[in-house]
Structure 1
Amino acid sequence: MTNLKVQVPVPVDLEGDLASLPGDGARMAPHWAVPDRVAARPVSPALIHGVTVPPASARLLDAMSDYGD
């Protein structure tokens, strides 16, 4: 991750256009703490229950091509 430092104060843009986003992010970055590592643990299929998929959503997903086609 790149450590962004703002050398010159940037005026706050209250209108919020896209050009102001990099400066906003650079000013907020020092306030965000990033954990060293987050380990995702697999969940047993036996613990997954009560999930229902509406038929329309299942048809929509079935009609989509696989990622990377």
Structure 2
Amino acid sequence: MPNHRFPRDLRETETDTSLAQLCGDSARMAPHWAVPPVAVATPVPPSSIHGVVVSRASARLVGSMPEYGD
């Protein structure tokens, strides 16, 4: 049977957890999800990218965003 940690009071909700508790929980959990080193990818020149299709609705949506569009 797995060893899970449950709140002392099962009626406890997400909002009863403090930021300090979340940070502590995250720090304790981080070693369990160690990410192996990744080789640095070399950039692909835009001229070699072909065949990307975007729907008109998606293009309008992105075009209307101030960060990307006109």
Q: TM-score, normalised by structure 2?
A: 0.50
Q: TM-score, normalised by structure 1?
A: 0.50
Which fold has the larger relative contact order, with Cα–Cα distance below 8 Å and residues 6 or more apart in sequence? 1
Bigger Rg, structure 1 or 2: 2
